[in-house]
Amino acid sequence: MDIASACLAGVKCRYDGDARPDARIVKLHKQGLVKLVCPECLAGLPAPRCPSEISGGDGADVLDGRARVRAEDGEDRTVEFLRGAQATLEIAKRCGAQRAYFKAKSPSCGCGRIYDGTFTGTMRSGDGVTTALLKRNGIEVIEV
Ligand code: SF4
C-alpha cells in the first residue's frame, strides 16, 4: 500500500491546526489504497504548532547535517523532523509503499520546492526532510 500526507485526506494535522483535503487523496484513502502519515505528528509535534522552515539548505542537506530546521519562534526542530522522517520511512517500508503522495511546499513533505527558511513566503528548489529520506530509499514522491 502506498502512503499519503494525512492533511491531504482531511486530517487536521497542519501547523495551523487545519487540513488541506485533496479530492484525489480523499478518494484513494476511502478506497483503502493509501496509508496516511504526518511526519511532524509522528515526531510528537502538536497541531497547531509554530511553523518551521529549513534554514541553510533543503531536506537532503538536513539529512547530511549541513542545514537545520527552525521554527518561526527560533526553536531548532531538526531532531524532531529527522525523527518524523525516520518514522515515516519505517511505516512506508512496512506497507511496501512504492509511492508517497505528499503535500507540496512542506518542510517535511515538500517535493522539488520548499520555503527558503526566511518565513517570507519565498520558495527555493529542494525537497522536505521526509521526502529526501524516502527518495534515498527508492520511494517515488508525488507532489500534490
Ligand atoms: S508534515 Fe506533511 S502530512 Fe503533516 S501537516 Fe505537514 S504537509 Fe501535512
Count of CB atoms within 10 A of residue 118's CB? 10
| Alpha-carbon gap, residue 82 to 140, rounded angstroms | 19
The confidence score (pLDDT) of residue 43 equals 98
Query: How far, in Å, is the centroid of ligand 1 from the Cα of 88?
Result: 11
Report yes or no: 109 and 6 within 8 Å, Cβ to Cβ: no
Residue 117: left (phi > 0), alpha (psi -120 to 50), or beta? left
The confidence score (pLDDT) of residue 138 equals 98
Mutate to test the pocket of ligand 1, among 16, 38, 115 (most ligand atoms within 8 A of CB): 38
The confidence score (pLDDT) of residue 52 equals 98
Report which of 23, 55, 32 is spatially closest to residue 124, judged by C-alpha positions: 55
Per DSSP, the three-state class of 10 is coil
pTM confidence score: 0.98
Q: Does the beta carbon of 103 lie inside 6 Å of ligand 1? A: yes
Residue located nearest, by CA, to atom 5 of ligand 1: 14
List, run by run, the mean pLDDT of 10-residue segments along the chain (144 residues): 98 98 98 98 98 98 98 98 98 98 98 98 98 98 98
Report yes or no: 127 and 60 within 8 Å, Cβ to Cβ: yes
